[in-house]
Structure 1
Amino acid sequence: MVDTLIIRWRTESLQRGWRMPTDWHVPEVELIVELLTAEQPLTEAAYALGSARAFYGVGIAESLSDLRVVFDVAGLPIDPDSLQGLAQGWVEANESLAVPSCVDAGTGLSSISHFDSVVRDLNLSDRAEGEQLCLASIRVRGIDDVPSNWFLLAQLGELCMDYFEERTMVYRRHSIDFLLPDQASYRLLLGLCRSELAALGDGVLEPSEPEYRSLRNELDRSVAHRI
């Protein structure tokens, strides 16, 4: 039964977007399944799995989504404690690795330096590309008031990645900034994302309506500041 559940977990995870098949099976996977089938607590094993995922360079959003899959294929309700354990293991392992990264350890989104460098690179590249993009921002509040807010940050990052996996995003100073195509379809998605953000942490985030700024104007402002 353990082997069968592992195969089903891996297969479903790949179908849902796990990007590196060769990195999926780690020893902690077997421990999770053994404990799950024995109806034992998973928190410590999930912590270990989170650490392993961070070691192999898997993002926190992808790691959390993968863990949810095993509950789905087993026909069981998702255990919030195991998700929290995985997130904590991932964050602490990522911090201990101390490797410069374009990914923020807390959210799994872009690091601030990487996000800013992308905007700078657009400034130095073909302006036409910049004219097709916009900067969108959603203000959030209450994160600092939540105990163990690293888990809320991880959930925030995972949710944003679910909507805009291929886009560049950053969380900083109580704002989530998105670099998105200036298209109606993306504005619709951002509105849906905001609605789900409003439900996280029992509504503590109170996300604002999205604000949009033309990337072209941002680049012009950046040039003006340097003159």
Structure 2
Amino acid sequence: MNKAPAGDDGLGTLCARWRRHTVAEGWRVPEDWSSPAVVPFAYAVMHGLPAEAPAQALGTARALADVGITEGLRDVGALYDLCRASMPVSVTLAFAAGWETTDTGPDPQIAARGMSGLPQHAEFLARAADVFAGIESTREGGSLVLVTIDGRVGRIGSAGRLARWKRDVLLGEAVRLSFGEDYPTGYRDGVAVALGRSEPAGRVLASVARARATLSSLARENPSILRAPVRITVRPLPDDLDTLRGLITADDAA
């Protein structure tokens, strides 16, 4: 990795800026951010050194502090943003490995989301029901659409646990980067879903194109983990929740 510029900041100043930046991005409990593990990781990124080992240690620390993997990875990304560098996939996976293999994991609700960091389908359907009922808005107009992203490449058996969570991490990050917080999302075993609206024109298509490009790049680097090309479908939503549930179940079984 090339040396990541950090201006004239010393390590302590960089860590302080990192904390302010990640809190501004939505870190839930600012008092819980500080950890000894942030220092060696910040040092590695600041000086362009291999960061996988300190990233794994930071992942372990975050899991022990009941920080979800989504929040933890966003925090890691915030440091790379400050240093004007791209976060390597190897660092993402190292952080995830530390988080996933920690003996004392986060609370059950966070753990249930698994390595993708996305809600399970049951939570997605609950949010979809609220959208149908007008309780929750997708902040857009037009008709409702269902986006399905299938990244599965064959079957991954019990011996492929490492490959499975690598796939889940990569798919989860791609979905979050592409669709953001405005879209209710769900995930199960290599298949992600997102709920959006057709207006403003091109919004959903732009998100789909971003997801396709991101996953195509990741699939080239991980051909045994991600489908290439990824299969993405955009369909009008049915009028009722039971039919939507049936569509998702059929996609999972395909």
Shorter-chain TM-score: what band? 0.7 to 0.9
1:46-65 per-position Cα deviation (integer Å, ceiling 9, x unaligned) = 22211232344444233223
User: Helix, strand or coil: the match of 1:114?
Assistant: helix
Task: List alignment gaps of at least 5 residues for structure 1.
Answer: none
1:90-111 per-position Cα deviation (integer Å, ceiling 9, x unaligned) = 2234984461448511100112
TM-score by length of 2: 0.68
- Output the CA distance in 2 between the equivalents of 1:94 and 1:180: 37
- Provide the residue aligned with 2:170 in structure 1: 155
**2:178 aligned partner, one-letter code:** Y
**1:28 aligned partner, one-letter code:** A
User: Helix, strand or coil: the match of 1:136?
Assistant: strand
- Output the CA distance in 1 between the equivalents of 2:119 and 2:75: 20
Say whether residues 1:134 and 2:145 are aligned partners. yes
- Output the CA distance in 1 between the equivalents of 2:45 and 2:245: 56
Deviates more, 1:185-194 or 1:142-151: 142-151
- Output the CA distance in 2 between the equivalents of 1:126 and 1:150: 35
Superposed displacement of residue 134, structure 1: 2.6
- Output the CA distance in 1 between the equivalents of 2:70 and 2:103: 13
- The alignment-based identity, stated in percent, is 23
Say whether residues 1:221 and 2:229 are aligned partners. no
User: Helix, strand or coil: the match of 1:134?
Assistant: strand
Seen in structure 2, the aligned counterparts of structure 1 residues 43 and 140 have a Cα distance that, compared at 3 Å, is closer
Say whether residues 1:194 and 2:212 are aligned partners. yes
Contact 1:132–1:182 (Cα < 8 Å) also in 2: yes
User: Helix, strand or coil: the match of 2:152?
Assistant: coil
- Provide the residue aligned with 2:249 in structure 1: none
TM-score by length of 1: 0.75
- Output the CA distance in 1 between the equivalents of 2:211 and 2:14: 32
**1:182 aligned partner, one-letter code:** S
**Which residues of 2 match residues 24-63 of structure 1 at below 5 A?**
24-34=33-43, 41-63=50-72
Superposed displacement of residue 39, structure 1: 7.0
Task: List alignment gaps of at least 5 residues for structure 2.
Answer: 1-9, 247-254
Seen in structure 2, the aligned counterparts of structure 1 residues 162 and 59 have a Cα distance that, compared at 3 Å, is farther
